[in-house]
Structure 1
Amino acid sequence: MNMDAKKASESLVVMNELVLPNDTNTFENLMGGRLMYWMDIAGAMSAARHCNSPCMTASVDNLSFKNPIKIGNIVHIEAKLTRAFNTSMEINIKVWGEDSLHQYRYESNEAYFTFVALDPNNRPRKVPQVIAETPEEQEQYVGALRRRQLRLILAGKMSPDDATELRALFVPSKENL
């Protein structure tokens, strides 16, 4: 497998779906579970594009619903890697609704998904690193380590004392005292 680092932009996946009656609840809004399903697909494609292997979802961070997407509107999903670790990758997924009739686009959701690359035996495999080029990609890249540490603490896989990047946000260093 090629382990050369890849640009974050190379992992970009853009997906569009039309909200049909079977996708909605009694308020004629897109069901949250259906949106999460579509986001998971976009994230999996982005992860697989980055590492050239099958991937599985390991976690989903806070998924907040800013604005509902109505029946007949278009769902626009963009997924892109923010950072790769050893065998896992963090992917930022942004969602917009698009009202074609009134010709406007609006924010709906955003979340961070974590995927793990799998080898032919369905065991975790190493992934290429990410090259963050734009200021937004660089900001996402830096923040990814703190988000990862928080995920690991919440999952009971890391002690808060070991989360040095995360602690630096809350505990002043001795030099600053």
Structure 2
Amino acid sequence: MSSVSDTYIQNRQRVQPTHTNNYESAHGGNVVKWMDEVGAMSAMRHAGETCVTAKISELDFKRPIPQGDTCVIESYAYAAGRTSVRVRLRAFRESPRTGDRELTTDSYFVFVAVDAEGSPTPVPELTVDGERCRELRDDALAAEPDEE
């Protein structure tokens, strides 16, 4: 059984010319790919199983990430169902020279744990140990999109 903070991952990707669109900023598809990969790592860290993307909610692009900047992906699991893991994902543009950071993309992904045959498999309960875990979970739940 893991805690919210056990699933916290932060990863960086330098935005190269091959990652950009016609406006010399990170192509949205690349940002989503990077978020999906890091989010799956958070989900797998909790589930202890392979996890696949089941749903992406509220994928909001707030500003571009220029070529040459760093895309920082922050990811953590904040809730678990019977076979699913809900993961909060945020992307930031970061200046490689100063470390200044701005939120660029915010989203919630749902991953499903699968066994060797690709069938959904149960995941353990996600624990909330300590103030940092509570803050992360509460922040995710407060900003989580309403499902209709």
SS at match of 1:121: coil
- The number of aligned residues is 145
Q: Distance in 1 between matches of 2:39 and 2:22?
A: 28
Q: Distance in 2 between matches of 1:117 and 1:102?
A: 39
Alignment of 1:101-112 (within 5 A): 101=97, 103-112=99-108
1:95 aligns with 2:91: yes
Closer, same or farther in 2 for the Cα pair 1:122/1:18, shift >3 Å?
same
1:47 aligns with 2:43: yes
The one-letter code sitting in structure 1 at the alignment partner of 2:92 is W
Who is 1:115 aligned against? 111
Partner of residue 81 from structure 1, selected from 77, 84, 96 = 77
Who is 1:161 aligned against? none
Structure 2 gaps, min length 5: none
Provide runs of 4+ in structure 1 moved above 4 Å. 140-144
Structure richer in strand, relative to its length: 2
Who is 2:64 aligned against? 68
Q: Distance in 2 between matches of 1:103 and 1:123?
A: 42
Question: Could you tell me how far 1:102 is from its partner in structure 2?
Answer: 5.1
Question: Could you tell me how far 1:78 is from its partner in structure 2?
Answer: 1.0
> Which stretch shows the higher mean deviation, 9-18 or 32-41?
9-18
Structure whose alpha-carbon radius of gyration is higher: 1
Structure 1 gaps, min length 5: 154-177
**Alignment check: 8 A CA contact 2:4 2:137 kept:** no
Closer, same or farther in 2 for the Cα pair 1:138/1:78, shift >3 Å?
closer
Give the TM-score, by structure 2 length. Answer: 0.89
Question: Could you tell me how far 1:142 is from its partner in structure 2?
Answer: 5.1
Higher relative contact order (CA 8 A, sep 6+): 2
What's the Cα RMSD here?
Answer: 1.9
Question: Could you tell me how far 1:121 is from its partner in structure 2?
Answer: 1.4
Structure richer in helix, relative to its length: 1
Query: What percentage of aligned pairs have identical amino acids?
Result: 31
The one-letter code sitting in structure 1 at the alignment partner of 2:52 is M
